[in-house]
Structure 1
Amino acid sequence: MNDKTQSKKLQLTTKIFIGLAAGIILGIALQSNPDIAVNYVKPLGTLFLNLIKLVIVPLVFSSLVVGACSMDDVRKLGRIGGKTVAYYMLTTAFAVTIGLILANVSNVGGGFSIPVDATVEIAEAPSIIDTLLNIIPSNPLKALVEGNMLQVIAFALIVGAGIIGIGEKGKVLFNFFDAMAEVMYKIIAVIMEYAPIGVFALITPVVAQNGPGVLLPLLKLILVVYAGCILHAVFTYSSTVSLFAKVSPVQFFKGVAPATVFAFTTASSSGTLPITMKRSEENLGVSKSISSFVLPLGATINMDGTAIYQGVCAFFIAQVYGIDLPISAQLTIILTATLASIGTAGVPGAGMIMLGMVLQSAGLPIEGIALIAGVDRVLDMMRTCINVTGDAACAVIVSATEGELDRSVFENKSCK
């Protein structure tokens, strides 16, 4: 049975890679006529994303309630919550610092001459105070219907803590949410059979619409963001999983690979959440109680890749506009990007809302977003990869420090 399961996992991962490669090839072939990719291929990817979105809110809510209840007592819930938030905030601050250092060293915006009179539509970023106040929903049903993930998470944790508080009487409600979570997992398993097709259909229009003509003028920006993301993964995640969880970085990255590939294609941390949870439990040995708590939380508040993007893009925009960015302004960017990450939804394009907030805090022209709007999707894919990888790293570390990491998963893989 175990050999069959392992074979199945490898087969799905291989299919996703094949879908990704085929989509890139077709996208290149359709660059002269991207409407074909947008009108006829993209709908298949949109349908797949809609199926994923279908289960996100019920999955996050039910799994967080079950995860909170699995902590046995409120003190354990607070301890694990503290570890999770601390890891996410520290790694996000470190990530944006890496981005700014690389931007300074590479002179990322130097020598660029790009028209700056373009405009771009962008939603107004909420203030940090409003973000913190809006975490607690005044109408939890509205939060569930609208998919306001911060409020959904807060309500789920409150319900979970309440179930713990009433003891045996809460067993019936716990069983209900536990059954709901299992139903969501089953639906996800069926949806994932179509993942290779979804990946193929999502990547094709991206490549077709963002060909070399768009990418080359901004290639340096893209390379710096990608380099920052790779460095953060190699050094930060490798060192933390090795130091705190005693897990080989190679085994960690191999285990989380299916989720990172899917994240790269969809550019959605929330959309990747079902895969991240499944692979963290089956490939990395994370306990279900930790996975159900840490990963849904991370899909909303952990934005390491997005933080790197904020630092590099803010510096890039400053240079293109000929604005000096002193150390004080760069420290402001680090602080704002770290705090803003807790209010940014894990959906495609959400990083641009964050970037607007960061630019305002550093006194940079928000119109600068127009300079990178054309390649934002290409940047979004890589930063989402890092966001998802960071979620999994935190889950492994928290699970290990709580003595709930199943290390037999790694032993079985090394024996094969």
Structure 2
Amino acid sequence: MKTILKSYSSIILLLIGIIIGSLIGLFLPDLVAYIKPIGDIFLNLLFVAVIPLLFFAISSAIANIESNGKLGRILGIMTTVFIVTIAIAAILTILGLWAFPVTAIKDTSTFTEAINSNPEDTWGDKIVRFVSVGEFVNLLSRQNILAFVIFSFLIGVSVRKSGDLGKPFLNFLLAGNEVMKNLLALVMYLGPIGLGAYFAYQVQSLGPELFGFYAKPLAFYYIFGIIFFLIVFSFYAFIADGNGGVKKYWKHNITPSLTALSTCSSLATLPANLLAAKKIGIPDSIANVVIPLGNTLYKNGSAISSILKIYVAFAILDWNFFEPTTMVTAVGITLLVSMVAGGIPNGGFIGEMLMISIYGIPNEAVPAIMIIGVLVDPLATVLNATGDTVAAMLVTKFSGEKFQVTSTKDVDTIEL
């Protein structure tokens, strides 16, 4: 019993905090305004710490890979895993909607929210802003997370090319990576309180909307998403490392899942994912590349919600979603959406709406789709964030690397 309590103490404390927060959100909603700042402080600490973590994790991992061939192989396998599994998520969602049609919203007149986008921007302008910034200081904003990831990747490559002269800088990167991991472990000690406060806010703010016009689309997303989460991710973990992989994935995936569910932020879940990867035994050379890149570029939850949004928009407009060309285009859009959605709370809907505009969907259908995007965000973030870890497991398998056996000392060091 003591061993179980020691192994799962952090998870038990998180669950207690989340349960208390949920009860406050349900029965004492007036208190939410007072405790939400606690959750905001916790989330801000994660966001502040995660930027240097990304830099040190990516740069040190790239710089420390033994050969250029190994780096290229990891990136090639990672790209293939991302594309194939996102396509699988999109196709399964289409099949689910075909088997269980959803009655969409017919009246969107009460919603007036608009897309916050500059109509004068060309697609070229959007791509430039997405992958680069004009000033170094702008790299440090989480709004430009992909540009920052690319910069960190290039720093790692540059260190590799510097040879012996670059070794002092490599040692700095390795030391910085270790320091940031320990800092994030300290921050996560606040998890039960911070996540509990955020759960109170989520339950209090989103609860009333779940039973209105959006009941059927949301019921489909949450039922399908939970099934996808449990079965498809288990299947991927089995492919990666057999029955042992499934057990390790679910044993160490609880904390990342709860973090994602309460914060609605893939970026805030990144530290917990990296710690889980360490416990699962994913080599650092893979975890520190695949998980940070996947945080921005790999989103199963966004893929499923993208298909659902397109389907709902077509239903509102009485268009036929199940035409072959429409479905193939939807899968293509979904692949793009999974790369556009950022790692910030509720940040994916703008990119998804830009992609859906390919169909020429009129303005009256847009508000309803955006509301759906907000309401599915908790589960979407769980799928987005925790999918990074199982993707890293698949990359480990297909790259020929071995899962590492984590010692008791290592586990105690990184245990939250």
Using structure 2 for the length normalisation, give the TM-score: 0.89
Work out the percentage of aligned pairs sharing the same amino acid. Answer: 24
Secondary structure of 1:101 counterpart: helix
Q: What residue number does 1:123 align with?
A: 116
- Counterpart residue number, 2:414: none
1:392, distance to aligned residue in structure 2 (A): 0.4
In structure 2, C-alpha distance between the alignment counterparts of 1:213 and 1:150, rounded to whole Å: 32
The CA RMSD over aligned residues, in Å, is 2.6
Change (3 A) 1:127 1:248: farther
Partner Cα distance (1:263, 1:98) in 2: 23
Q: Which amino acid aligns with 1:45?
A: G
1:134 deviation in Å?
A: 4.9
Which among 112, 129, 141 is matched to residue 146 of structure 1? 141
Map residues 269-288 of structure 1 onto 2, 5 A cutoff.
Answer: 269-282=266-279, 284-288=280-284
Residue 85 of structure 1: which of 72, 79, 82 is its match? 79
Bigger Cα displacement from structure 2, 296-305 vs 151-160: 151-160
Measured against aligned partners, the alpha-carbon deviations of 1:188-219 in whole angstroms (never above 9, x if no partner) come to: 11111110111111111221122346534322
- Tell me if structure 2 keeps the 8 A contact 1:64–1:156: yes
Q: Mind listing any 5+ residue stretches in structure 1 that lack a counterpart?
A: none
Write out aligned runs for 1:365-384 (5 A).
365-374=362-371, 376-384=373-381
What's 2:39 paired with? 45
Residue 26 of structure 1 corresponds to which residue in structure 2? 24
Q: Distance in 1 between matches of 2:98 and 2:108?
A: 22
In 2, distance between residues paired with 1:12 and 1:394? 25
The 3-state SS of whatever aligns with 2:190 is: helix
Instruction: Output the amino acid matched with 1:23.
Output: G
CA separation in 2, counterparts of 1:315 and 1:409?
Answer: 48
User: Partners of 2:168 and 2:134 in 1: how far apart?
Assistant: 24
Instruction: Say if 1:365 and 1:267 are closer, same or farther in 2 by CA, change over 3 A.
Output: same
Structure 2, unaligned runs of 5 or more: 412-416
Give 1:73's aligned residue. Answer: 67
Deviation at 1:20, TM superposition (A): 1.5
CA drift of 1:280 comes to 1.2
Q: Secondary structure at the match of 2:162?
A: helix
CA distance in 2, matches of 1:300, 1:306: 11
- What letter is aligned with 2:217? L
SS in 2 for 1:348: coil
Scaled by the length of structure 1, the TM-score of the pair is 0.89
How far off its partner does 1:377 sit? Answer: 3.8
Q: Corresponding residue for 1:350? A: 347
- The C-alpha deviation readout for 1:59-94, integer Å capped at 9, x for no partner, is 101110011012122221111011112111211122
Contact 1:359 1:366 (C-alpha < 8 Å) held by counterparts: no
Structure 1 position 408, deviation (Å):
6.1
- Given the superposition, is the C-alpha separation of residues 312 and 266 from structure 1 closer, same or farther in structure 2, using an over 3 Å criterion? same
Equivalent residue for 1:17, pick from 15, 18, 32 = 15
Could you give the per-residue CA deviations for residues 360-407 of structure 1, whole angstroms, max 9, x where no partner exists? 122323543422545544410101111122100111222343323115
Structure 2 counterpart of 1:16, one-letter code: L
Worse-superposed segment, 373-382 or 133-142: 133-142
Task: Report the more deviating stretch, 246-255 or 148-157.
Answer: 246-255
| Alignment partner, residue 309 of structure 1 | 305
Judged with a 3 Å threshold, the aligned counterparts in structure 2 of structure 1 residues 366 and 291 are, in CA distance, closer, same or farther, namely: farther
Q: Relative to structure 1, is the Cα distance of residues 242 and 166 closer, same or farther in structure 2, using a 3 angstrom cutoff?
A: same
| Structure 1 residue 128: Cα displacement | 6.3
